[in-house]
Amino acid sequence: MAGLFQDDATDDPPPPPPDGPGLFGDALPEAPAPVHAAAYRVLARKYRPATFDDLIGQESMVRILRNAFSIGRVAHAFMLTGVRGVGKTTTARIIARALNCTGPDDTGGPTADPCGVCGNCLAILNEREPDVFEMDAASRTGVDDVREIIEVSRSRPMKIRTKVFIIDEIHMLSRNAFNALLKTLEEPPPHVKFIFATTEIRKVPITVLSRCQRFDLRRVRVSELHALFERIAEKEGVSIQPNALDMIARAADGSVRDGLSMLDQAIAQAEGEISSVQVAEMLGQADRDAVFDLLEAVMGGKPAAALEITDRAYERGADLGTMLQDLLELLHTVTRLKSIPGLRDSAELPEAERTRGAIIADRLTVPSLARAWQMLLKGVGEVESAPDRRAAAEMVLIRLCHVSDMPPPGDLARRLLSGGAVPASPGPSGSGGGSGGGGGMTRAVANGAPAMEAVPQGPRLSGFREVAAFVKDQREAMLHAHLLHSVHLVRFAPPVIEIRTEPDAPRDLAPKLAALLSEATGQRWTIALSTSPGEPTLAAQGQQADTVRREEAADHPLIRAIMAAFPGARIDAVHDSTADDYGLPASPAAVPLGEPDMPDFAPPDAEFADENPWEIDP
């Protein structure tokens, strides 16, 4: 019999089906059962490594852990450190499964290769094992949280062999929390393992570090990330251009998780093949080809072309400050290719860097690359502090364009000293051009003979200091040291040098010096030993000159005022830009032509002046 609010289905027959249209027309069709879409798993979770073999870029750590499991010497506490997304928490979970795996037949012991099918492995893998505790120290930083862990660690595990405590971002714990953890960490129960993870290893107390086995997880290389993302894209049935994968791998900055998140985003927004242009727009960057074009325009002195490239990038939404950083990174890569030609065959660099980057490296000199690096590095800082980032970035690029054809400072100095004309551009090979350049191989003969190719001349030795400097340039370190500390010059009359030596000087000093000078200059030199006192050694003269400079500095009114205002201050060193390597005033021939005679210190009544805004500091 039916109750008050429910019918008895067994007693009453079901109502007959309607034999015609209902009150509101034809009968409505029966609604289908609701279909629940499967929850989407992001790529970072879907392809999270489940074994040590799945980890990429951490071969050293994997090898050590495998050996530890094979010989049964697994530490009681681990400290995993590294940048975000390199696999710290993933490694901790793999260790937890490795400690508790029982194998497919439930008879196995700890192993470096957890089966992934036993009850313990599945429970830990699905994050439902109560004896594997994960705590985020960023949100639970207090001593009470640590005391809770200590209390739980005293009891034996309910089902698995080993209790595992995984504490992420452990550097966020308070000082009292660290202190509370120390005793248990030093003498843990035999059934407990601690695994700590942090991105700020310097903030972890040394007392904690000393009780842990530390592993530094390195950034994953671009080539390894590229290969991983390519495999995942293939499994997902996604077509993506290699250049686009390179951009994602570089933007990941060594983080697998960050890179997979970017790949996830690129897949979600693309229709058909994912191109590098789409990835560049997604990341707010200029595509790699545009950065190469910009570098060529800047180093070629083409401001109009450079600004046209930045205009196109800006219209696509790229941040010009980020583009300068990309340019800085490319400049570094080109400089490495210039310095280490073997990198051109390395698989660590993307194809564009190994081909197009190598071509640019062959056309540029190291001084020009170094100058561009310094200017660009300074320019990136200017952009970050400028009210208009675009304007600041364009000003940096214009400056780079206008210094691109300037010869290196060393070439300028050599040409000025030799009396030659300074060319407007060093030329494609960097060797300088123009008629009358100081680097030519012709000279005028005093007797009116026609110009002829000069015979290579030896070093200009106009004094004993030049002789010592020449010996140093020949990498005769021991001989140079004795010339500096054990030799007193008595008379310098080339090709004869008369000296007095200290008792500690080697017996073959004179003949060795004579042979070295004779071979270099093509004429016979004589080194005569004398008993006359002679001059102080070069080292003693340098010390005396330094003492004089210190005394003059200390007697200057400005320095006296500083010393009075800051009791205890002292003069650490006085640098004389006109002094040579031995701390002595340079000879007149060594001073660049046109060098103004500047005082060592500003006069006492001098006023501060702002830096020249038009001066370019390369």
Residue 12 lies in a domain: no
Residues 554 and 528 in one domain: yes
| Number of neighbours of residue 277 by Cβ within 10 angstroms | 16
pLDDT of residue 398: 92
Residues 252 and 378 in one domain: no
Please give the Cα distance from 264 to 267 (Å, whole number). Answer: 5
Residue 422 lies in a domain: no
Domain boundary among 283, 310, 331: 283
The pair of three-digit structure tokens given for residue 342, joined into one six-digit string: 């073997």
List the one residue out of 249, 250, 283, 251 whose CA is nearest residue 266: 283
Residue 199 lies in a domain: yes
List the one residue out of 352, 356, 357, 368 whose CA is nearest residue 428: 368
Please give the Cα distance from 549 to 559 (Å, whole number). Answer: 13
Residues 81 and 158 in one domain: yes
pLDDT of residue 465: 85
Residue 203 lies in a domain: yes
The pair of three-digit structure tokens given for residue 208, joined into one six-digit string: 């904690």
Please give the Cα distance from 257 to 45 (Å, whole number). Answer: 9
Please give the Cα distance from 201 to 464 (Å, whole number). Answer: 55
Helix (H, G, I), strand (E, B) or coil at 371: helix
Residues 103 and 180 in one domain: yes
Contact (CB, 8 A) for 19 and 183? no
pLDDT in tens, 526-581: 888 888 888 898 888 888 888 888 888 788 887 777 777 777 777 777 777 677 77
pLDDT in tens, 212-264: 999 999 989 888 999 999 999 999 889 998 888 988 988 888 899 999 999 99
Please give the Cα distance from 514 to 525 (Å, whole number). Answer: 5
Q: Where are the beta strands (DSSP E) in 18-169?
A: 77-81, 132-136, 163-168
> What's the CATH code of the domain at 380?
1.20.272.10
Helix (H, G, I), strand (E, B) or coil at 46: helix
Please give the Cα distance from 514 to 527 (Å, whole number). Answer: 6
Torsion of CA 65, 70, 74, 78, to 10 degrees: 10
Residues 201 and 119 in one domain: yes
Please give the Cα distance from 277 to 346 (Å, whole number). Answer: 26
DSSP annotation string for 109-144: ---SS--S-SHHHHHHHTT--TTEEEEETTT--SHH
Residue 420 lies in a domain: no
pLDDT of residue 425: 42
Residues 274 and 373 in one domain: no
Residues 177 and 81 in one domain: yes
Q: How many helices and strands (H and E) does the chain possess?
A: 23, 10
* 242-251 and 351-363 helices, crossing angle to 10°: 80
Residues 226 and 211 in one domain: no
Domain boundary among 216, 232, 256: 216
β-bridge pairing 442-443 and 452-453: antiparallel
pLDDT along the chain (618 residues), means of 10: 44 54 50 58 89 91 94 93 91 94 89 91 89 88 86 89 92 90 88 93 91 92 90 91 88 89 88 84 75 90 91 85 90 90 77 82 87 91 90 92 71 58 41 35 33 51 85 83 88 87 86 86 85 88 82 80 76 73 61 41 46 40
Cα angle 142, 144, 146; round to 5: 80
pLDDT of residue 473: 83
Residue 433 lies in a domain: no
Residues 152 and 51 in one domain: yes
> What's the CATH code of the domain at 120?
3.40.50.300
Residue 392 lies in a domain: yes
> What's the CATH code of the domain at 258?
1.10.8.60
Strand partners, 193: 164
Q: What's the whole-model pTM score?
A: 0.54
List the one residue out of 284, 279, 288, 286 whose CA is nearest residue 244: 279
| Number of neighbours of residue 81 by Cβ within 10 angstroms | 21
Structural domains of the chain, count: 4
Domain that holds residue 173: 43-216
pLDDT in tens, 372-418: 999 999 999 999 888 999 999 999 999 998 887 666 665 655 665 55
Q: How distant, in Å, are the alpha carbons of 84, 326, 407 from that of 360?
A: 34, 16, 18
Residues 266 and 299 in one domain: no
DSSP annotation string for 243-270: HHHHHHHHHTTT-HHHHHHHHHHHHHH-
Please give the Cα distance from 562 to 70 (Å, whole number). Answer: 67
Q: Is 436 left (phi over 0), alpha (psi -120 to 50) or beta?
A: left
Residues 211 and 229 in one domain: no
Residues 185 and 115 in one domain: yes
